[in-house]
Structure 1
Amino acid sequence: MHYQTQLFIDGQWVAPVRQGTLEVINPATEEVITTVAAATAEDAERAVQAARRALPAWRSLSGGERGGYLRRISEAVQQRKDRLIPLQTLNNGKTLAEAEYDMDLVSACFAYYAKLAEQLEQRQNQPVVLPSTEFTSRTRFESAGVAGLIVPWNYPLVTTSWKLAPALAAGCTVIVKPSEITPLIELELGDIAREVGLPAGVLNIVTGTGQGVGAPLCEHPGVDKLSFTGSTATGTRIMATAAQSVKGVSLELGGKSPMLVFDDARIDAAVEWICGGIFANAGQMCSATSRLLVQRSIYPQLLDALVQAVAGIQVGDPFEPQVAMGPLTSRDQYDKVLSAIAQGKQCGATLVAGGGSVPGQERGYFVQPTVFTEVPLDSALWCEEIFGPVLAVRAFDTEEEALALANDSCFGLVAGVITEDEQRIQRLSASLEVGHVFINGPQELFVETSWGGFKQSGIGRELGPWGLDEFLEVKHITRGAKQPG
């Protein structure tokens, strides 16, 4: 398979100024797939200048014209699925089924924002009702300018599309900085951009480290808007950097999400949704429901069923169709998760499933799906984001206790609730301090609904019309109705 490995700047594949490279690793085998360009501040400068040159013409297009490009990108993703799916699995470690789901999300995202771009003209110049007849006012929505999009390694191309599609729809030109761990699939966007005829400079892709090119991009005075998905620690640094020039910022950060299971739940369905919420994508999800709260009256029964289900999860080569969970995506993440499991064994929690690397897997970053019970509330296992297939379980007695435990976190991205009590559903939906509540089902994602969190889980929203608004500036034009004299 041929891989794009250079930088995509101003519509062309170019080498970095300093000729540096980064190794890209297959997490299932630890083998080097290829090397890609390692951009630096000089390359960030080139990309920003290309985006600024392209901005006036791109933002002056009608929403319908921009929507046409987005629609063609959506179609190109569908047409390239046979290439994109195995590339996602190779570089990230997702199973083929997970990678296929991702590509469908990406295509749907571009198609959705094509529609919103086409509808943007209807929002322009809307009159504002004023209390005075001596004035009239109307509303305009304008591009936020040049946007820097910094995306993570756990859902490459998905999170890119969540940022890129609305940014382009809004009339922004962009610089995408992929994770240095999983850059290969984002680089495919360069070929897609050329295929659909996207004007040069509208999309630029710079691969490299956060320190090498991410920080210079955030600091650049020619970047008007930053959108970042990743850790809360990195997000706070980006926010501090953006404050120096008062850039617009949207941040989708960490999580330690709760799943609440009540005694009227169906055990089999609850176990399926619990496993999906923590073991999908090898637990590498900011929204992973890694804190499980179970009502005490069904706790033993549910725990037995959960342990049995976890034992049946096959971990291994993500290209094998029977495998349900692939490797972690990097050596650093593998070491971090194993360290968290070791700490869990020492904090007083009880290990009931998994607990380490996968026996017999001599190479690759494979970790067993792991479950701890009786997890202390002050432990790192209960409080800190692990970003791996590690579940912490506790029992509760009352709804009030469950709600208090669920909200007792510095994060607030999502929560899951499993119950048949409609009044309880209404109460908890209103009281859980999170950006998205999933009721009686898996974390099914729809581009029409918002994504983002409360507290330290971030600022702003992605997806839906709210995602488009993140890349628009609001302008009002107010004029006097009376002529002078």
Structure 2
Amino acid sequence: MRTLETLIGGEWVTSGAWIDVHDPADVREPLARIPALPAKDVTRAYDHAERGFALWKRTSPFERARIMTEAARLIRERLESIAADVTAENGKTLAEARGETGKAADFLDYYAGLARQRYGTLLHDVRPDTRTHTQREPIGVILVISPWNDPLITPARKLAPLLATGNAAVFKPATETPLSGLHFARALHDAGLPAGVLNVVTGRTAEIEEALLDDPRIAGVTFTGSNAVGNRIRRRLADRNVRFQGELGGKNASVVLADADLPAAAKAVVAASFGQAGQRCTATSRVIVERPAHDDFVRLLLAEVEALAVGPGSDPATTLCPLSSPRQRDSVLADIGRAVDAGATVLAGGAADPERAHGCYVLPTVLGDVTPEMAIWREEVFGPVLAVRAVEDFTQAVEAVNDSEFGLAAALFTRDLSRAYRFIDEAECGQVAVNTTTTGWDVHLPFGGFRDSGTGYKEQGEEVLRFSTRVKTVAVHY
């Protein structure tokens, strides 16, 4: 078992107390341990971040870009070892982990490029002999809280833009999957990031929550995770001048119309539903099928599900990995059980994998006879579970998509261009796809949901700069 250190003030430190990290493919023995920092070390991280910000905001954007580009190079150089740790702590397949590692480097490269671009706008001024412009400035120390499902790409998505724009960060990786985030921090550290600009807090959230969230030096919090936790953080920050960026839950729907290419739609829905064992915020968990195509589509869907290979992420043959933890496995199984009790029919899966009792496996599950009143249709499950429902026509399909408190991602499969554009206009979601999966949004594409799926600040692309910068307006009379 490896013993890891964490990064505080430019130094790799331990605490004397430890948290074990397990491989969800077999949870009998821990694979590593990380420091369980006490609250005083969290405060120390903010001390260093405050000093780091004072230096980093005055650092040339070209130097920031150089450091980030070098960090991206180091991540690519270390890709195999990093991907192995992503798989080991999270469970996802090596193919998925390699893709995640490469995309983390892409985020650094993309925002290194943006660091060189314009940072303000020249404006006309009604006053004579007056030149007016705006300029963007960093906001300060930002707390980054990342989830366990994408333990490398989510920190990269959050940290790269805020570092490129001159902010400092205190980063809290998920307790279940800290190795990936530590790899990201090490690459930046080795690339020459000044001490204190990035500080990584590992520990038990219940023991450090007050120190983590209540420090008066926090200028912004960016969080990805459940609505329950996100709303608790939002309420905690409500009476302070602290920005909150939340990427929260989803109950994403794919619509299959009768005129669609049904085999292609079945392949795309299975990829979107069961990649990473359904543990993606943009995973399809509801499929809405126009009634004339329902039976044929379900037959094709079940054939694609049957072809999935369940196993550990380290096995190249695996296409459906374990869930991230015993708690997550048990939660998903309980959701399936409640759906069956409510009247849903198990068309595939519906249980743990009896051949892999020491791991966190749930067989790929398809549920039929689902009604819109059922919890399985309305609440996020975050596992390899897909609910299928028939509707009469396009209008009912759009209504079914929008009949949700969430609004992250939706997809439509059709050959009808007019209905495709109607869907784009009418779907109440932040991400809309036509004839492709609900998942798979690239680094330069703005990302984030509507309704309870997110907040007003998007991630990715140039949109994220609205969160990590503030605008100053300047007038000069000459």
User: Alignment partner for residue 101 of structure 1, among 80, 99, 102?
Assistant: 99
User: Alignment partner for residue 114 of structure 1, among 103, 112, 115?
Assistant: 112
User: Alignment partner for residue 453 of structure 2, among 450, 457, 470?
Assistant: 457
Structure 1: 5+ residue stretches without partners: none
2:72/2:187 contact within 8 Å kept: no
| Counterpart residue type for residue 446 of structure 1 | D
Give the Cα separation in 2 of the matches to 1:40 and 1:212.
7
1:208/1:214 contact within 8 Å kept: no
User: Which residue of 2 is the match for residue 471 of structure 1?
Assistant: 468
Any idea what SS the aligned residue of 2:360 has?
coil
2:156/2:184 contact within 8 Å kept: no
Give the Cα separation in 2 of the matches to 1:189 and 1:389.
28
1:143/1:472 contact within 8 Å kept: yes
- Aligned-residue offset at 1:131: 4.2
Normalising by structure 2, report the TM-score: 0.97
Give the Cα separation in 2 of the matches to 1:412 and 1:190.
32
- Aligned-residue offset at 1:267: 1.3
Give the Cα separation in 2 of the matches to 1:9 and 1:288.
35
Any idea what SS the aligned residue of 1:24 has?
strand
| Counterpart residue type for residue 8 of structure 1 | L
| Counterpart residue type for residue 49 of structure 2 | A
2:80/2:98 contact within 8 Å kept: no
User: Which residue of 1 is the match for residue 290 of structure 2?
Assistant: 295
User: Which residue of 2 is the match for residue 406 of structure 1?
Assistant: 401
User: Which residue of 1 is the match for residue 213 of structure 2?
Assistant: 218
The residue correspondences of 1:262-281 to structure 2 (distance < 5 A) are: 262-281=257-276
1:67/1:115 contact within 8 Å kept: yes
User: Alignment partner for residue 74 of structure 2, among 73, 76, 83?
Assistant: 76
Give the Cα separation in 1 of the matches to 2:210 and 2:415.
48
| Counterpart residue type for residue 267 of structure 2 | E
Partner deviation per Cα, 1:401-458 (whole Å, 9 max, x = no partner) = 1111100100001111111111111111011111111111132221110111101101
Any idea what SS the aligned residue of 1:141 has?
strand
Give the Cα separation in 2 of the matches to 1:422 and 1:4.
56
- Aligned-residue offset at 1:219: 1.3
2:3/2:33 contact within 8 Å kept: no
Give the Cα separation in 2 of the matches to 1:251 and 1:190.
22
- Aligned-residue offset at 1:95: 0.5
Partner deviation per Cα, 1:219-257 (whole Å, 9 max, x = no partner) = 110111110000011001111112232201100000001
Give the Cα separation in 2 of the matches to 1:336 and 1:167.
34
Any idea what SS the aligned residue of 2:81 has?
helix
Give the Cα separation in 2 of the matches to 1:221 and 1:389.
41
| Counterpart residue type for residue 92 of structure 2 | K
1:435/1:452 contact within 8 Å kept: yes
The alignment-based identity, stated in percent, is: 35
Of the structure 1 ranges 297-306 and 243-252, higher mean CA displacement relative to structure 2 is found in 243-252
Give the Cα separation in 2 of the matches to 1:381 and 1:131.
59
User: Which residue of 1 is the match for residue 252 of structure 2?
Assistant: 257
Is 1:11 the equivalent of 2:7?
A: no
1:8/1:190 contact within 8 Å kept: yes
1:372/1:392 contact within 8 Å kept: yes
Is 1:56 the equivalent of 2:51?
A: no
1:265/1:420 contact within 8 Å kept: yes
Any idea what SS the aligned residue of 1:409 has?
coil
User: Alignment partner for residue 33 of structure 1, among 31, 34, 38?
Assistant: 31
User: Which residue of 2 is the match for residue 22 of structure 1?
Assistant: 19
- Aligned-residue offset at 1:362: 2.2
Give the Cα separation in 2 of the matches to 1:149 and 1:214.
13
1:149/1:174 contact within 8 Å kept: yes
4+ aligned runs moved over 3 Å, structure 1: 130-136
Give the Cα separation in 1 of the matches to 2:119 and 2:432.
30
Is 1:137 the equivalent of 2:132?
A: yes
| Counterpart residue type for residue 461 of structure 1 | K
Give the Cα separation in 1 of the matches to 2:127 and 2:264.
58
Any idea what SS the aligned residue of 1:322 has?
coil
- Aligned-residue offset at 1:211: 2.1
RMSD over equivalenced CA pairs, Å: 1.4
| Counterpart residue type for residue 25 of structure 2 | A
Structure 2: 5+ residue stretches without partners: none
- Aligned-residue offset at 1:40: 2.7
Aligned residues: 475
Give the Cα separation in 1 of the matches to 2:372 and 2:221.
35
